[in-house]
Amino acid sequence: MTPVRQRSAPDNTGVRMPDPANRTAVLIESGIAMCDVWLGNHKSLYLSVATVLCLITFTGYSHAKFPWVDEVLQMTIARLGGIRPIWDALMAGIQVDPPVLHVSQHYLIRVFGDSPLIYRLPAVAGFALMCVCMTLLLWRYVAPLYAASAFFIPYATVLRSRAMDARPYGLMFGFAAVTLLCWDSINRSRHRAVWRLAFTVALAATLSTHFYSIYIVLPLAAGEITRWIYRRRIDRWTVLCAAIALVPYAIWLPILAAASKRFMSGYFYRVNFQNLYDFYSFAFATLPFASLLLLLFVAVAALGGTETNKGDRYNSNGDGVRILLVTSAAFTVLPVIGYAAGLVSTGFFVPYYHMLTVFGVILGLPLIIAAVTRRSNVAAACLFLAIAGHGLFVTARGLSGFRRQEKPYPALSELRKVTGDPKADIVVASPAAFLPFHEATRSETDSNLLYLADPDKALQLVGTNTADLVELQLRGRTTARIQPFESYIASHKEFFIAVLGSDGVIEWQYTYLQRKSDARLRWVGQAGTFDIYKVNLGQPL
């Protein structure tokens, strides 16, 4: 029997009352529409509040987080005597970056004092700048609720982990977002010359942060070529601006060339498909999800689904959405291009060097949801609640960072209690742990921590010698004790070695000593996460 739909009963006036479920739906849609209108009228207020919260949130994360090894290297270089020593350190391969951030940090700590927060301020500011610029860019093409959600999308991605690093990634994200905003504005404003100048400066700044920032050129080229197809003419001025912006990058290239000669044969992260797959899983949830996004970007851009004025040969709004979707698709495939370059040329693939690929999600997700739902306000509200809701959790965690601080390394007194000898040398076997451990105890003048470096043995035992080459170049540039392995063990027959013993941790000295026939290792205790062994040489088993 076919069920009969219940009709709403008339009231005593004879007027038929609406279904309660319909009334609820109308109220919800009306509330969402009011929120959308409010955001449209108060864009500046929304962005101001969100930006202040962002800066406070990631300052809290910075307060809680202890520097990791790449940050300590950055800080070590920034502490050098001036621009020339910084350039020399980069030419030596201690880090392979343009010198702009190191020099900026050098003067920041001279003015405001030496603390991890000061080194991290540029990254925090850059991350917030990215969130603002991406939101402003999307505000041009989708309803305010869709655009407002874009501010918090980076909170849910791998980019968040770099927002409080004393490394160039945060600045790279910020300047890259400014570049996209200026590039899009060139064809939307009467003041094209001003926006071209801003685009040139922003792109030059982006390319002066990190050598892998060059990847932004590929999505820009894809989007610009798409624009030429719609306009049926080439914008030679934009090409010229991009060429001018490449000049600073060319100035920094000697650093990259010197590092290539020094590290290429034994560089870490050898090209491996697992690294590519893991990066997409890390940045996009899974590789299939990334593939789905890519296909949606291309399909909607090619087949339609965006609002366009059919009377115009080139419509800056409708066709602008398609151009941004093509740009998003190009961002999404950057790791694949990097992996292919590793196979053909470089021989390595470092996943986190390709983090700009997440820009494809930040730009493309609101655009694609708006397109496939025909700009539904309900879909916009769902996206905003999901993304901004997660952003509130991230914010709460960041604010709690002002009440806590990581202490991943034991005090020297704890180590000495285990060894029983306050003057005995303690070799830290992990290069990734040695420099942060030294940073944690840098104020103690009588530190007995040291690292033993030997690039040949490292390459033989673990397949990479990058860390040992860097450690040797640090000698004379840091107060950390770094000694050549062979000369040290020739003159020291007894010492202690601190071992983490975790999977994936490089500790080749421990492995070598275990295999050495005249070495005896005896476990004496544990300090923090380190197992401490006493090493006796010249005593065959």
* Coil, strand or helix at 426: strand
pLDDT at position 255 over 90 = yes
83 contacts 103 by C-beta, under 8 angstroms: yes
Of 426-435, 436-445, 501-510, which one has max mean pLDDT?
A: 426-435
Sign of CA dihedral 281, 332, 289, 345: negative
**What pLDDT digit, counting tens, does each position of 373-422 carry?**
888 888 888 888 888 888 999 999 999 999 999 999 999 999 999 999 98
Of 19-28, 75-84, 510-519, which one has max mean pLDDT?
A: 75-84
pLDDT at position 499? 94
Of the pLDDT bands very low, low, confident and very high (cuts 50, 70, 90), residue 444 is confident
Mean pLDDT of the chain: 87
105 contacts 469 by C-beta, under 8 angstroms: no
pLDDT at position 4 over 70 = no
pLDDT at position 31? 85
pLDDT at position 22? 74
Of the pLDDT bands very low, low, confident and very high (cuts 50, 70, 90), residue 315 is very low
Percentages helix, strand, coil for the chain (3-state, rounded to 5) are: 65, 10, 25
Percent of the chain residues past pLDDT 90, beyond the cut: 65
Percent of the chain residues past pLDDT 70, beyond the cut: 87
Of the pLDDT bands very low, low, confident and very high (cuts 50, 70, 90), residue 350 is confident
pLDDT at position 279 over 90 = no
CA distances from 147 to 107, 283, 330, 357, 372 (A): 37, 21, 21, 19, 16
The stretch 67-91 carries a mean pLDDT of: 96
Chain centre distance of CA 151: 16
pLDDT at position 307 over 80 = no
The stretch 493-517 carries a mean pLDDT of: 86
**What pLDDT digit, counting tens, does each position of 175-204 carry?**
999 999 999 999 887 889 999 999 999 999
What residue type is 74 in one-letter code? Answer: Q
CA distance 536 to 200: 61
What residue type is 114 in one-letter code? Answer: D
CA distance 304 to 319: 10
The stretch 36-46 carries a mean pLDDT of: 94
pLDDT at position 15 over 80 = no
Neighbours of 433 (CB within 10 A): 24
pLDDT at position 346? 79
pLDDT at position 445 over 70 = yes
